[in-house]
Structure 1
């Protein structure tokens, strides 16, 4: 080979071969560091600027100077190995770097004496890579970089991940610098076979019985990179051979591929991960640029008749996610697409491996996914096979303790099971991922489906399923203990992924052979997960199945049914208004609570019934039920429940029109609110969210506009972080939307209505979806925009309380029914506004006397209730109809109750009248 040799001190730099040698032994240094050193050596004694270095080493990309400093540090570290040398890289501040050394360069083109490759060693050409390598550019670069610095590099990963492809791509880049040799160990079974395969790859005249020492002798003077492919089935033999080669052949560098490391001194591991897959919410442009999608699309096009387009991109993304981005699985699925169809591919992939039978005829062990997994499975010990099968029951990631609990047989030592688990991870059948709490393990979906089939055939499936369900119960107990200790974001990060395991445990527990009692316990304990993950419809089905199971067991009428009926009430409320089924479930809950003497359940049932009466407009009955939550016989209520009961009482006190009393209760509760809702009380809504929302409503109607605005905006921001959809939707519908409209911020109200609509749609909250549609239309009307047309089922006639709320936001919605109710019933929180709206309607109809009478009644009711905002509106309407002498004091007195400036429309309208009245 003709190349340059740059000598300085005891070092020899061979730039074309990317090698730095000291005393004939390679010094580990990366390719870019070697390029930097070569440039400095070529211009030894000169200052080379940072710009010149980056233009030479990184010609097409922008690189920050600290990246350069990292490589300079590595070079200095390497040069220090020549301790007696007078060689140094000097930093000239503001200018660049200079190599201080006596440098001799043997120019390119000269014949350079080198250790010749023995004539009996003539490496066969590398196998050709027919298919383009997709999405592995960084991995190939890492392998090339590692080979330049280390003598043994092992590419580790599960079957089908593309280890051989990456290795060959790396060697293709390196063969211009040095000789390379590919040795396939697939059919080898002993050390002698390894030697024979190596000799055959090198075309060395060695017989079948030649001992390895003869091969070592021939390789001793050779300079080459030796790729040993597929080591996993004889890992100990491959490790001994590698160690012997490294010790005896100083110019040989080894690259190995294996499903587990060789564990030889000096080994550097490059772990291959699956290709990135598209996210569920990714845009089409993002999907089409994803490596997994690109691989599938290219291979499917090669199989015939496929073209990636906007209308099929999401189906391809589903396939890629189902296969975890495993390259072999993607290739086999792509090959099957012409026969199976993309739609079938994208539905239920993980449990169907037969479509992937269209693989490589030339490679039996990778001919199908089944064959590839059989290759790995047969290498496992019997106990490891059983452990792998048990681990297939996990639906998400898991830690070592969880794996041991599920996989350890009754008589097994946990330590032995833990060792088996670690061996599976070492053999790339388990992926290891970093987490905030240590490490997490997971199985690829293809491996999981295969292992589950093996478990079902072992006769241990039911036993393992019970252990998995019991582990889910343990996990939920720990989640409950952490609920009040951890920040919500951290809690969801740790426990949010457990929902799939909960689902699997419930399917077994409530199935024919399952543990029904355990299943009911899991349903009750998992409520926060279902709510926080927006799985209301599915949780509804589990609750009904659990009640039916209790009935079949003859165990209804106890504490478990109370909790199930409670969950059912919450879901019925959100799914379709609080109707007859809701009342029946709440009444049954109250009946059982009284029977067994459960004060918490009794108070909760009364809250449900109180809320239903309030929505139907019977506020007096609603307050009576709320007050019974703190009945004398319930003196043993805990603090959390006391706050909950008083919050409900405050809300219903407001609705009957006692504003100051409601505000006092609310202010006291807000002051002492911990912001934490007990785990078991999560279905009662988040206490802090609803308390502060209700208090903002009271503040707004009192006329404390600044405080109301600050409270509601802060509460909405905090509530979005809590991942409690029912609480968030209730806050938006009962407080945020109306308060924003009362304060005249129509754009903010429209924003809150959109948030409500999205959250309600995502969670199938029919009732809340209707409220969102109403608030959106009201905001549009107020802003002069034409309302969006909606189907009738999205805009049903509102319930009485909701209609009253809408009238206070848009007076033109006051109809004869609402006015008749307001006049017939005892005054409540919205009576003054409904009367005022009627007065405006009468005024527009030309009946000024009737309008004035309604304004006067509205003002009297509002002042009596302490409803400062309603009083201001009534005073403004009345001031237009009375003499200036009478109007001015009315407005001045109404404005005196308001905490807010002219940025609020009602304040601005009232103050605009004063100058005219005074003049």
Structure 2
């Protein structure tokens, strides 16, 4: 069914309709691209048409908990005016009240979204998508690229490390793509499925079909055969082979069905388009960095917004800006890790929080509504680590001795220490595939590294093993031999 909100609102003015809850601005049934700050400012203005809102009121609405220069407000108001098509001599929506602030001057009609807002899906199309998060930070480009990929590839897998934000992005992609499929978009959470024989049944259940084990597969394929819909298969990694087989069957039997999967590794079947979700960008750590500049980078923007949502009194001063940047850098731009840190920011302050990151797995806790695997970064990485083979776990632990990037040759020398592996090269490739090791092309050569959060976890596992001392000694010998 179409996403509903309690007490939904929409505001119509001129050819535009604004829906705050869905973070949408529509002009003549066409979505208008608008930045998050500009959207918040527009919402504040249309909520009180004719009322002068002071610059301080608008700064507090657009940048909660952050002290920023007035120039930021002027830049966003200018961008908002351009998005609304304001030109000299044309109809004005936003008036500047010199010395006081801004006022929305056009007539505003308040109405229900059903009457004023075009449907994102055709009327009658059903869906069970979970509520989309308002104000997703830093993923507009990723969402657009994945939606475009679904237009050409019937299977697209969003792949990335635990805590990268794959599910959030997938739901947003599905909500936007649902208008292209007449039978809706359907979300299947596989995280709680622990039996490979239940994959077909879980999909059938999400679609509202009976899920008897004997007839689940046949009923599912029969149901899908004549339908045009999008299936979102979320959290596939622990059932990867069964999901791959199921996806192949669906794509072969139901020619108008498309699949969007999220996983820590690709399904590796024919026709799969793979989109590796990157970390959120964070600013460089510079002493001259100012608080206002943090909002230009999605990692620090997310940190500030989540910390302010937890505590409206939370503020960032210019002297704290490099510390916030370092926190987000050390958390690898992982959305989950940043949100966990932001939840603790009001309790510890950013300076103390930075010092606590060495014990990051103990001090950063999530919200009660989050799934167990997202309550801490330890739980998030446990989910991946427990799915590894013993050989993959061994290699990951040993690679944690590298504080930065390393080569394939270096990885093999350390990985082979003290035992005979089947193939350290194949194991390393598997860890890259499973988003636990990052491969980067630098100057025509590939280097590898562990995200800091993953490395801290693997170092702890290494310390708990009986091989820590001689693996570190082997690493020292390797450094001396290679100068």
Give the TM-score, by structure 1 length: 0.38
Cα–Cα, structure 1 residues 167 and 181, in superposed 2: closer, same or farther, change >3 Å? same
Measure, in 1, the Cα distance between the counterparts of 2:368 and 2:159: 22
Equivalent position of 1:216 in the other structure = 221
Equivalent position of 2:22 in the other structure = none
Which of the pair is proportionally richer in strand? Answer: 2
5 Å-filtered alignment, 1:94-109, equals none
| Alpha-carbon contact 2:210-2:216 (below 8 Å) kept | no
1:473 Cα shift? 1.7
Measure, in 2, the Cα distance between the counterparts of 1:372 and 1:124: 28
1:129 Cα shift? 2.6
Equivalent position of 2:441 in the other structure = 434
Larger Rg belongs to: 1
Residue 375 of structure 1 pairs with residue 383 of structure 2: yes
Residue 261 of structure 1 pairs with residue 266 of structure 2: yes
Residue 457 of structure 1 pairs with residue 460 of structure 2: no
| Alpha-carbon contact 2:159-2:262 (below 8 Å) kept | yes
1:132 Cα shift? 2.3
Equivalent position of 1:283 in the other structure = 289
Equivalent position of 2:203 in the other structure = 198
Equivalent position of 2:146 in the other structure = 143
Residue 337 of structure 1 pairs with residue 340 of structure 2: no
Measure, in 1, the Cα distance between the counterparts of 2:420 and 2:196: 35
Residue 394 of structure 1: which of 399, 402, 406 is its match?
A: 402
| Alpha-carbon contact 2:202-2:211 (below 8 Å) kept | no
Residue 228 of structure 1: which of 221, 233, 236 is its match?
A: 233
1:209 Cα shift? 3.9
Measure, in 2, the Cα distance between the counterparts of 1:448 and 1:351: 13
Equivalent position of 1:445 in the other structure = 452
| Alpha-carbon contact 1:191-1:241 (below 8 Å) kept | no
Measure, in 2, the Cα distance between the counterparts of 1:420 and 1:350: 28
| Alpha-carbon contact 1:359-1:368 (below 8 Å) kept | no
1:240 Cα shift? 0.3
Cα–Cα, structure 1 residues 141 and 297, in superposed 2: closer, same or farther, change >3 Å? same
Residue 176 of structure 1: which of 179, 184, 191 is its match?
A: 179
Equivalent position of 1:273 in the other structure = 278
Secondary structure at 2:355 match in 1 = coil
| Alpha-carbon contact 1:392-1:452 (below 8 Å) kept | yes
| Alpha-carbon contact 1:323-1:350 (below 8 Å) kept | no
Cα–Cα, structure 1 residues 463 and 346, in superposed 2: closer, same or farther, change >3 Å? same
Equivalent position of 1:165 in the other structure = 168
1:444 Cα shift? 1.1
Measure, in 1, the Cα distance between the counterparts of 2:126 and 2:193: 19
Secondary structure at 1:148 match in 2 = helix
Residue 317 of structure 1 pairs with residue 325 of structure 2: yes
Structure 1 unaligned regions, length at least 5: 1-58, 61-115, 477-919
5 Å-filtered alignment, 1:866-877, equals none
| Alpha-carbon contact 1:181-1:225 (below 8 Å) kept | yes
| Alpha-carbon contact 1:431-1:443 (below 8 Å) kept | yes
Larger RCO (CA within 8 A; separation ≥ 6): 2
| Alpha-carbon contact 1:192-1:212 (below 8 Å) kept | no
Cα–Cα, structure 1 residues 377 and 327, in superposed 2: closer, same or farther, change >3 Å? same
Measure, in 1, the Cα distance between the counterparts of 2:205 and 2:159: 25
Residue 416 of structure 1 pairs with residue 423 of structure 2: yes
Which of the pair is proportionally richer in helix? Answer: 1
Secondary structure at 1:421 match in 2 = helix
Give the TM-score, by structure 2 length: 0.71
Equivalent position of 1:156 in the other structure = 159
Measure, in 2, the Cα distance between the counterparts of 1:328 and 1:287: 18
| Alpha-carbon contact 2:356-2:363 (below 8 Å) kept | no
Q: Deviations over 1:172-221 (max 9, x none)?
A: 11122321111111111334311121112111234344231221111000
| Alpha-carbon contact 1:164-1:257 (below 8 Å) kept | yes
Measure, in 2, the Cα distance between the counterparts of 1:181 and 1:352: 36
Structure 2 unaligned regions, length at least 5: 1-81, 84-121
Equivalent position of 1:838 in the other structure = none
Q: RMSD over aligned Cα, in angstroms?
A: 2.1
Q: Deviations over 1:264-285 (max 9, x none)?
A: 1000100011111111226324
1:294 Cα shift? 0.3
Secondary structure at 1:228 match in 2 = strand
Q: Deviations over 1:312-371 (max 9, x none)?
A: 222211111111111100000001122232111122514432111234444011111111
Secondary structure at 2:429 match in 1 = helix
Cα–Cα, structure 1 residues 249 and 280, in superposed 2: closer, same or farther, change >3 Å? same
5 Å-filtered alignment, 1:648-797, equals none
Q: Deviations over 1:845-870 (max 9, x none)?
A: xxxxxxxxxxxxxxxxxxxxxxxxxx
| Alpha-carbon contact 2:154-2:251 (below 8 Å) kept | yes
Cα–Cα, structure 1 residues 191 and 461, in superposed 2: closer, same or farther, change >3 Å? closer
Kindly report structure 1 stretches of 4+ aligned residues shifted beyond 6 Å: none
Equivalent position of 1:854 in the other structure = none
5 Å-filtered alignment, 1:559-574, equals none
Count, aligned residues: 359
| Alpha-carbon contact 1:123-1:203 (below 8 Å) kept | no
Equivalent position of 2:97 in the other structure = none
Secondary structure at 2:329 match in 1 = helix
Cα–Cα, structure 1 residues 175 and 308, in superposed 2: closer, same or farther, change >3 Å? farther
Measure, in 2, the Cα distance between the counterparts of 1:340 and 1:382: 38
| Alpha-carbon contact 2:200-2:217 (below 8 Å) kept | yes
Q: Deviations over 1:403-438 (max 9, x none)?
A: 11112133314x612221111111000111111242
5 Å-filtered alignment, 1:459-538, equals 459-476=466-483
